[in-house]
A and B are shown apart, each in its own frame.
Chain A
Amino acid sequence: MKNVLILGATSDMAQAIAKKYAAEGWSLTLAAIEPELLASIASDLRVRGDVTVDTKTFDATDFENHRAFYESLETRPDAVIAVFGYMSDQEKVRTDIADIRRTIDINFTGMATMLSVIADDFEKRGRGAIAAISSVAGDRGRQSNYIYGSAKAGLTAFLSGLRNRLAKKGVHVMTVKPGFARTKMTENMELPEALTASPEQIADAVFKGLEKKRNVVYTLWMWRYIMLIIRHIPEFIFKKMGM
């Protein structure tokens, strides 16, 4: 039976991803900060179906312990999906040093350290798949969320490099760029319905993307074109726009 490790497993997207993999017959290792919620997610999955689920406490900002965390896993995973992330209301915190660091630590540094450890192991084994949730916000810095956006841009670049390195080693790396998704991160925000994906849609896209070894997946296809346009607006015009 194949095993998937989901990092940040209490997020809404991750919960949908876990259900998808369980339904496809994989065994699961769920890792997140919140042990209580994690336990209830695991027991929910067991009631829903016959599935093997392990849980592990994991903090993305506990960089020093990422190797120990990985080595402590009972089952070495065939696929890893890193979902954790952090977005604050930038208008409120753009000069809050602690919040800027937190945004970068979780969205970029934590991803880079954790995935580097995993990448080494996968490289040695000569197989495995890694997917991480970045964001269209990383495709171009915009005034409304460039701190989060730049951390995600870093993650996107990191994943692209990792893919480049591991492609010849039998290890596949996939970058997932959701547009808007209706999750607790965006619960109280006005989102354009037609451009907003459900966690389930994202879970399907992640599963299918990895099966088909896609490199970069935009969830909801329109976003690829929206971001293509946004990226190509000349800077002298872009800087005057209020995005």
Chain B
Amino acid sequence: MRTISDWGNYPVIEADVAGFDSVGQLRKQLEDPGELIAFGNGRSYGDASLQKRMVLTRRFSKFLSFDESSGTLCCDSGVLLSEILDVFVPRGWFLPVTPGTKLITVGGAIAADVHGKNHHVDGSFGQHILSMDIMRNDGSIITCSPTVNAEFFKVTVGGMGLTGVILNASFRLKRIETAFIREETVRAANLGEIMDCFEVSVGWTYSVAWIDCLAKGDSMGRSIMMRGEHAQTHELVSPTHKHAPLKVNKGMQLAVPFRFPNFALNPLSMKAFNFAYYNKCRPGTHQHLVDYNSFFYPLDAISNWNRIYGKRGFTQYQFVIPKEAGREGMARILKRITDSGLGSFLAVLKLFGEQDSFMSFPMEGYTLALDFPISQKAMELFKELDAMVADYGGRLYLAKDSRMDAAMFEKTYANADEFRQAVTLLNEGETRFASLQSKRIGITN
């Protein structure tokens, strides 16, 4: 037994955990009847990978093959995206899709069908999977792809670990000439401006905006957009970079050594941070060359930054609403959030492209993600926000969620019912996959 939690440190539970080195060891674990769930690197925020019995996948992390001509990588599910980057960026390859942290496993990337700053161009991670092997609750292994066992594939991508333990996957990396991103930052004075900015930025491969959720009135929604392209060799300027275009320096790794006291983050300190961040960026448009780590993973430079929220923990409220509802909906929801004064520094806005998958979070529209320290007030605010999100035809991201109720899930995920039936069918038998989340939102009982 040990104490364990996902990234938000809420909830924190006691669990029996065991990893595996081989398919045989995992099969043995599954012979033990009862409920269990796979745990990757615990970078989901809530309780999606928590349960009183958990299978740890991190140790199951071998690279199986790489085809240099097509860029096809096959690896075990416990491999971290950071390991893939460490090995393949120097050889001129990059991930097809990456979330805002590289410290997640391939299994977690598929199970949550994660998205990145290029969603409007390249879709979600699951859309790049060529094939994968999954161990079912009875210990059998099923190989699936968009064409082979396609139904099983469909429910497993974005299926939050409820269909089985993903063992390995093949996907194609993309060619890069350099390890650098040509980044452009644009300062937007309010919500209207930033939305305009997204709409004219669809030609960029990567785009995302940091938004100040404490600014009110005319400056509500003031933001900084960051958009980027992989830099080509001829775009590099410094002689060191030109000489070794695929090499990046390790950079400094900072750490938060202990949990901050709860009072360390208060409205004043957050306001000061947001003000400073916004004003650091001068008005107008600016170009920089940055290495891929600073562009994609600024937060990974500070280990355990989640500890600044203290013992009470935190959650991330991430929703998406359809593009048609965008302007009005986003303005109303954002106003409710800024009025509450509860949001904290990390608020991220993005325009998703179209997505047609079974259980995945993205849909064509605007998504906003922001962190909240856990409190009674925040929980009450979420209820109100839920109602608005549902009204606009939007939904919440399961990978970030620790508190949504079954009714909200049911209302907002069009395939909730079909998914539940599939999971029930797949879980027939003595051993069942279920997480605290799947029980809370009524996918499993």
CB-CB < 8 A to A190: which residues of B?
1-3
Interface stretch (choices B18-26, B138-146, B183-191): B18-26
- Type the 1/0 row for B75-90, where 1 means its CB is closer than 8 Å to any CB of A: 0000000000001000
Bound-state CA distance A187–B87 (Å) is: 26
A213 at the interface (CB under 8 A from B): no
Bound-state CA distance A24–B28 (Å) is: 37
Contact of A10 with B18 in the complex, beta carbons under 8 Å: no
Contact of A188 with B18 in the complex, beta carbons under 8 Å: yes
CB-CB < 8 A to A164: which residues of B?
none
A98 at the interface (CB under 8 A from B): no
Bound-state CA distance A47–B61 (Å) is: 12
Interface stretch (choices B62-70, B95-103, B124-132): B62-70
Bound-state CA distance A187–B56 (Å) is: 9
Contact of A187 with B19 in the complex, beta carbons under 8 Å: yes
Contact of B64 with A43 in the complex, beta carbons under 8 Å: yes
A230 at the interface (CB under 8 A from B): no
Bound-state CA distance A37–B20 (Å) is: 11
- Type the 1/0 row for A173-194, where 1 means its CB is closer than 8 Å to any CB of B: 0000000000010011111001
Bound-state CA distance A107–B65 (Å) is: 35
Contact of B258 with A194 in the complex, beta carbons under 8 Å: yes
Contact of A44 with B18 in the complex, beta carbons under 8 Å: no
A2 at the interface (CB under 8 A from B): no
Contact of A188 with B16 in the complex, beta carbons under 8 Å: yes
CB-CB < 8 A to B17: which residues of A?
187-188
- Type the 1/0 row for B1-31, where 1 means its CB is closer than 8 Å to any CB of A: 1110000000000001111011000000000
Contact of B87 with A49 in the complex, beta carbons under 8 Å: yes
A40 at the interface (CB under 8 A from B): yes
A105 at the interface (CB under 8 A from B): no
CB-CB < 8 A to B56: which residues of A?
187
CB-CB < 8 A to B19: which residues of A?
184, 187
**Number of chain A residues whose Cβ lies closer than 8 Å to a Cβ of chain B:** 18
Interface residue ranges of A10-27 to B (CB < 8 Å) = 10, 12
Which of B2, B21, B59, B63 is close to A48, meaning CB atoms less than 8 Å apart? B63
Which of B59, B64, B257, B258 is close to A184, meaning CB atoms less than 8 Å apart? B59
Grouping DSSP codes into helix (H, G, I), strand (E, B) and loop, the A interface class, with mixed when no group exceeds half, is helix
Which of B22, B63, B87, B257 is close to A37, meaning CB atoms less than 8 Å apart? B22
A33 at the interface (CB under 8 A from B): no
Contact of B3 with A48 in the complex, beta carbons under 8 Å: no
Contact of A12 with B87 in the complex, beta carbons under 8 Å: no
Which of B3, B59, B62 is close to A43, meaning CB atoms less than 8 Å apart? B62
A36 touching B22 in the complex, CB below 8 Å, given contacts A188-B2, A188-B16 = yes
Interface residue ranges of B217-275 to A (CB < 8 Å) = 257-258
CB distance from B357 to the nearest CB of A (A): 29
A41 at the interface (CB under 8 A from B): yes
CB distance from A103 to the nearest CB of B (A): 22
B24's closest neighbor in chain A, by CB?
A36
CB-CB < 8 A to A10: which residues of B?
21
CB-CB < 8 A to B65: which residues of A?
47
Known: A47-B65, A188-B1, A188-B2. 10 other contacts (CB 8 A): A36-B22, A37-B21, A44-B64, A48-B63, A184-B19, A187-B19, A188-B16, A189-B2, A194-B257, A194-B258
- A residues bordering B, Cβ < 8 Å? 10, 12, 36-37, 40-41, 43-44, 47-49, 184, 187-191, 194
Q: List 16 A-B contacts (CB under 8 A).
A: A36-B22, A37-B21, A41-B62, A43-B64, A47-B63, A47-B65, A47-B66, A48-B87, A49-B87, A184-B19, A187-B19, A188-B16, A188-B17, A188-B18, A190-B2, A194-B257
